Amino acid sequence: MAIRRSAAAKINLCLHVVGQRADGLHDLQSAVAFLECGEWVELRKSERTELNILGPKAAELPVQDDNLILKAAALFPSHCQTEISLHKTMPVASGIGGGSADAAATLHAMAALWDLPLPDVAARLSLGADVPVCMGRAPVLMQGIGAQISPLGALPPLFACLVNPGRGLSTARVFEHLALKSNPPLEPPPPVAAEFCAWLKRQRNDLQRPAVAAEPRIADVLEALDAQAPLLARMSGSGATCFALFETLAAAQDCAAAIQARQRSWWVASGALLT
């Protein structure tokens, strides 16, 4: 028996850095949505646990012991030996939670394959700050260091184009460029979907400016997205992937096609935000 689970791209629609804790971790507030990008894991019971990576981005992610998928599998009892295949389509170190989404999908698949409960939130958080939020697919509000997750509320139908310039970007490097660690918090999300886009435009990604300083190609991506007249164009997470939001799927797909035609080496995806 094989169990397959998809891993959706995480989009930080906004991200406010509101403080830094004594242990050095940052307190964040972020509205998060997800986009299906064709990445998945498939698991089978086996005599030993092993990971195989295939797909268009497989070369960017060699199999190593510190892979989050293997760490996720190791949270289950030692008898749960599993053969895991990852179909890799998202770029690595790109600000859209690829590794965290893979780990979350692995946790779901392991629990189903072995008929066991999911590890608790503390165990999920041990894999990385984005793993808890990637356990679901609905829009959420993420706060603190990643463990505080609540429903975001009603969103209008929205469609996204994601673009990455083919440059990996270390989150630690971006935070090193962040001059101010205590910034104004998010405004409370609006109670009705009709007000969501106006609310979102008033929010920020506090990591966008330091990320551009660390990787100037991000500014080129944002310029290319802005040229397609979106509702909003912004960087996701710590970059280097950026997104543009549109009211229709056709507009998001047209944006993706126009950018891909001009920048064939860039990674581009489009689709509807998951609800």
**Angle of the 217-226 helix axis to the 249-262 helix axis, nearest 10:** 130
Angle at 49 between CA 44 and CA 54, to 5 degrees: 70
The backbone torsions φ and ψ at residue 155, rounded to the nearest 5 degrees and listed phi first, read -115, 150
Task: Report the 10 Å Cβ neighbour count for 161.
Answer: 29
Residue 267, SS3 per DSSP: strand
Helix then strand then coil, % of the chain, to nearest 5: 30, 30, 40
As annotated, the active-site residues are 10, 130
The string of DSSP codes covering 3-27 is EEEEEEEEEEEEEEEEEE-TTSPEE
DSSP β-ladder status, 242-246 and 159-164: antiparallel
Closest CA to 80 of 47, 58, 103: 47
Phi, psi of 80 (to 5 degrees): -85, 65
Could you identify the residue written with the tokens 């268009």?
56
Q: How long, in residues, is the chain?
A: 275
